[in-house]
Structure 1
Amino acid sequence: MAEPNCADVFYLHKQLRHGLRYMWQKSAPRGDNQKGGSSDAAGGWYSSLADSTPVHLCEQLLVSVQEASGLPWWFSICVATLSVRTLVTLPLAAYQLVVISKVEALQAEISELAKRLRYEVSVTARERSWTERESRFQFKKNLRRIVSQLYVRDNCHPFKASLLVWVQLPLWISLSLALRNLNLQGALAAGGALWFPDLTIPDSTLILPVCLGLANLLIVEVFSLQRVAASRTQRLALNTVRGFSLLMIPIAATVPSSMALYWFASSLVGFSHNLLLRSPSICRLLQLSTPHSTSPYRDLLTAFFAKYRK
């Protein structure tokens, strides 16, 4: 099954955003025993962000879900995560897939036009005695113009495929800070379950952090299977994402269980949504321009076992 060319970049962004929380933790105010000047400097921007309108809206969302459902807080967090990601990010992920599919479908046409353009530039270069540098400049300039015209014609500029990141990242930050604010208010103290009864303290068993790291690592490994012959840059990016996935384990071990639970639930929902978008029925519904496998899940399992059972 042919996959989007920028899927690796999407998951890289997804993992990079987790690193932001580490910086927030370091810059948050530590208490009254710090010196006033340094404390204000360290916590000023963080406090403003935690007190922003999007964060308070996310707080209201979480509280409303819990009050309307009557569910315990741990389950309410999972329900809110599923709802937000399904109603907001899933449609954007589908739109991203459509845009990328159109861009991929244009590659053959772009390749053919590039060959013609290269010939025309070489003819003109001989007529006008252009240097090699001038010829390359004219070729690249006109190729960019042609490609831009094709993107406009098919309404598939690659930037549109990044809309998911620009929405998902602020949403993730806002929900994480909303949970932090609720933790400080003590609202989640008795809302846990099983081995994490208190959502305001870190998971001392490390089960949630390890599950989060393994889930993110599974996502990376499964969606790296689309790269049959990855370039050096792609392999470097893949190893970087693997590193962030493992780094999330100690980070999640230092934050309240509510945040680790949200990150874990968000990763699982995102993974299931991306598997859903591989479905042949969904591909037909979205009228994707590029051909897709009729048995995507079996192909994934086959590729997975072929790679890791050598």
Structure 2
Amino acid sequence: MLRLGIISRSLRTTMIKGNTISRPIILNTTGGFNGGRRFNSNTSNTLNTLNTSSTSNTNEISDRLTSFVENSDLNNTITTNLHSNQLGYLDSIGLAQGWGPTSIIEKLLELTHVYSDLPWWTSIIVLTLGIRVLLFPLYVKSSSNATRMSKVKPQLDLLMKEIKNGDVQDQMRGMEKRRKIMKQNNISTLATLAPMVQLPLAYGFFQALRKMSNYPVEGFTNQGYAWFQDLTAVDPYLGLQTIAALSIIAVVRIGGETGQHAFAKSMKTVMTIVPLVSILITKNFSAAIVLYFAVNSIFSLFQSFILKNNFCRKLLKMPPKLTQQQLENSNQNANQSLKETFNSFIETNREKAIEKTKQANKKLEVKHQRKLTNQNTYIKRH
């Protein structure tokens, strides 16, 4: 009994942690539990059991801590059993999820890469050209609309002057005449804005290629071409940036992507400087992104040539292109119209400001008169 008391006391002392006393559970060397059983009367066996249990628990804790650190390191690395030439690879590494512009482009890039069995740099080019070909009819419609609009613009300008200077009834009649002229000549305001559909797709391309370069996607580091073998790295020679900038400058000189715009000299100067500055802005972009910019700009240049050629316009059932003189006159009229609109806006605001100032002065005069009247009618009491 005395030995049992000593053993139980030592066990209670061992199991105390802080202010909490837990029930002693002794682990057998065979792995069984003796908590709730009568303790062995042999003190040395009991202490040996405790030492063995303590040592094994220490080893287990040490092993688990080591494995925990190793697992945390593994969690920072994305692992997948798929490869970039298999559908679902991008989804397995966290890309091409959802239906936003970026995810759609990522899915289309994967489909192009898998089914065409082309390297990534060619897949980017093929998808870029494919989307631009699909959008080409919108540019054809916009170019035709711009040509028809330029022919009737003098009539529309006269109507706009009548609308500005007339009363309410004249304005209503002028708007109705304008609507009829546009309908007779098959002119649509929305057709001019049709090419704007490209903007969300361009944003999707930029974000998709940026993310795919940052991961990086399998094959992006070695499936480039010529001097840009690594699509995740920057172009060391700025060759792709230069190609994109020169193509944009040529597009502006020709007449825009629709081939039916005559830019003013000041605008041409601006549109020459901006692309050159963009070389410095995009110098740290990955080669994959700048490759898209270059291919897109080159296609715009060829599209301008097509829409400016009368033979191609005839095949596409488009109205004949305007002469350079007609384009310049149209551009001049447009500039005059914008200038008149701006001057009219300033004049209107100036008149409103003058009217508000007069009203404020009248209110101040009325208040001053009331104040003088109150002072004259005030009777001082003694």
Output the TM-score relative to the length of structure 1: 0.63
| Counterparts of residues 113-262 of structure 1 (less than 5 Å) | 114=159, 135=166, 142-165=173-196, 167-187=197-217, 188-223=220-255, 234-262=264-292
Is the 2:255–2:304 contact (alpha carbons within 8 Å) kept by the matching residues of 1?
Answer: no
Question: By how many angstroms is 1:258 displaced?
Answer: 0.4
Secondary structure, aligned partner of 1:189 = coil
Q: Are 1:103 and 2:149 matched, yes or no? A: yes
Secondary structure, aligned partner of 1:277 = helix
Equivalent position to 1:278, from 303, 308, 312: 308
Q: Are 1:73 and 2:115 matched, yes or no? A: no
Give the whole-Å Cα distance in 2 for the aligned partners of 1:101 and 1:164: 16
Q: What do residues 74-114 of structure 1 show as CA deviations (whole Å, max 9, x unaligned)?
A: 11111111111011x21110111121122123235547x75
Change (3 A) 1:135 1:292: closer
Q: Are 1:82 and 2:112 matched, yes or no? A: no
Calculate the aligned-residue CA RMSD, in Å.
3.2
Q: What do residues 160-203 of structure 1 show as CA deviations (whole Å, max 9, x unaligned)?
A: 211102x0111111111111121122121222122111101111
Change (3 A) 1:134 1:267: closer
Which stretch shifts more, 136-145 or 252-261? 136-145
Change (3 A) 1:194 1:177: same
Report the equivalent of 2:347: none
Higher-Rg structure is: 2
Which protein has the bigger helix share?
1
Change (3 A) 1:291 1:204: closer
Give 2:315's aligned amino acid. Answer: L
Secondary structure, aligned partner of 2:255 = helix
Give 1:219's aligned amino acid. Answer: V
Q: What do residues 13-36 of structure 1 show as CA deviations (whole Å, max 9, x unaligned)?
A: xxxxxxxxxxxxxxxxxxxxxxxx
Question: By how many angstroms is 1:51 displaced?
Answer: 7.3
Output the TM-score relative to the length of structure 2: 0.52
Q: Are 1:93 and 2:139 matched, yes or no? A: yes
Secondary structure, aligned partner of 1:204 = coil
> Unaligned stretches of 5+ in structure 2?
1-96, 325-382
Which is bigger in relative contact order (C-alpha 8 A, separation at least 6)? Answer: 1
Secondary structure, aligned partner of 2:132 = helix
Give the whole-Å Cα distance in 2 for the aligned partners of 1:184 and 1:168: 24
Secondary structure, aligned partner of 1:173 = helix
